[in-house]
Structure 1
Amino acid sequence: MSDTNSVNGIYPQTPAMFDATYQPDQLIAGVYPRVTDNVTLASGNGIVARGTAIGLVTATGKYIPSLSAATDGSQTPVAILADTYDTTSADVVGAGVYLTGEFNENAVTMGTGWTAATLKAAFRPNNIYLKSAVSAADPT
Structure 2
Amino acid sequence: MSMSLYENDTLVSAQRIPIMRSVVIASGEVLEKGSVLGRITATGKYVLSESASADGSESPDVVLASAVDASTGDTAADVYIAGAFIDKALKFGAGHTAESTWHGLRAKSIYIMRGV
Larger Rg: 1
- More off after superposition, 26-35 vs 111-120: 26-35
Task: Between the two structures, name the one with larger relative contact order (CA 8 Å, sep ≥ 6).
Answer: 2
After TM superposition, give the deviation of residue 34 of structure 1 in Å: 1.1
After TM superposition, give the deviation of residue 30 of structure 1 in Å: 2.6
Deviating 4+ runs (over 4 angstroms): none
Is the 8 Å Cα contact of residues 78 and 123 (structure 1) preserved in structure 2?
A: yes
After TM superposition, give the deviation of residue 89 of structure 1 in Å: 1.2
Q: Deviations over 1:11-43 (max 9, x none)?
A: xxxxxxxxxxxxx75101233121100000001
Equivalent residue pairs, number? 109
User: How far apart in 2 are the matches of 1:96 and 1:57?
Assistant: 17
> Whose strand proportion is higher, 1 or 2?
2
- The one-letter amino acid of 2:90's match is V
Q: Which residue among 39, 43, 48 is the counterpart of 2:27?
A: 43
Is the 8 Å Cα contact of residues 12 and 18 (structure 2) preserved in structure 1?
A: no
Give the secondary-structure state (helix, strand or coil) at the position aligned to 2:107: helix
User: What is the aligned partner in structure 2 of residue 104 from structure 1?
Assistant: 86
User: How far apart in 2 are the matches of 1:96 and 1:89?
Assistant: 18
Q: Deviations over 1:51-90 (max 9, x none)?
A: 0000100011100010011110001111000001101111
Aligned Cα root-mean-square deviation (Å): 1.2
User: What is the aligned partner in structure 1 of residue 12 from structure 2?
Assistant: 28
- TM-score of the aligned structures, taking structure 1 as reference length: 0.74
Percent identity (aligned)? 35
- The one-letter amino acid of 1:96's match is D
